[in-house]
Amino acid sequence: MSDSRQFIFVMIIAALFVSWLGWRGYVVMELNENIRSHEEIADYPYPFRVLRVEGGTAVMSTLRSPRIATEQALRELFPSLRGTSEDSAEMRRLEQEYARLQVRASQAVLASPRIHRVRWELDENWYYLNDMELRQGGLGNPALSPARGS
């Protein structure tokens, strides 16, 4: 194979690869637009979103995890809760609202014929950007603390 043919072959492969990457990005953007098209989800202070697509599975961000209590994140989303007990009726109501909207966001994503499943991934970036550090608490229970500046 001559050098020019080899170069053309490599360029075609590179173009196909870049197109594939662009298509994957397009699918994520399309799914996120679908989420934002639901007014009550779009108006919520936490931006539910698809991070990536792996085959027929959409990986979505969440503040909820079996490892981390949601109350601290809700206090960040709703500053009026900062002095409120974790057992208060308002805290429980907002936890239920978060869970309901998370389900609605996943339903919006599952409406796409390309997506057959949703997998949730803890949004560690959100915690970082909101100056909250994920750290291990005693007995393996994760806790949140304000992030320390360097």
pLDDT of residue 34: 94
- Exposed/middle/buried for residue 1 (C-beta within 10 Å: 0-12, 13-18, 19+): exposed
pLDDT of residue 6: 82
**Helix, strand, or coil here: 94?**
helix
pLDDT per residue, tens digit, the chain (150 aa), is 678 788 777 777 777 666 655 555 688 999 999 999 999 999 999 999 999 999 899 999 999 887 777 888 899 899 988 888 888 999 999 999 999 999 999 999 999 999 999 999 999 888 888 876 554 333 333 444 444 333
pTM attached to this predicted model: 0.72
Token duo for residue 119: 């997998």
